[in-house]
Amino acid sequence: MFTPKYPPQDTASLGTATAPAFPTQAPVQPSGQAPAPVATAASNRPTVQLTPGSALALAAGGGAVVLVVGAVLVSMLLAVAITATSVAVCAVVLRSILNSERNR
């Protein structure tokens, strides 16, 4: 069940492989029209321009994310601390009960 299942080995011979022949055709141009000029750009990457309003929104959004993540992490830490404290109190109570039973 947990052993990997491998596909069967290829049985093809490793002889010379030939590429399939695809016929190549020249692009068809409508008659009487010149081809459209191609604009060459210095970089293919799009540029991002931030306006003051969008920069402010980005900063506010980032701050909100930081606050929400911080609140979640602090609440998780608080939950762990409360759980650890309650387990410690239960351990002390159980130890006290068991010690008092032994002394009787």
Domain residue spans of the chain: 71-104
pTM over 0.75: no
Extract the tokens encoding 18: 């030939």
Measured between alpha carbons, how far is 62 from 50 in angstroms, rounded to an integer? 15
Residue pLDDT, tens place only, 12-64: 666 665 666 666 666 665 666 666 666 665 667 778 888 889 999 999 999 99
User: Residue holding tokens 């029209």?
Assistant: 33
pLDDT of amino acid 2: 82
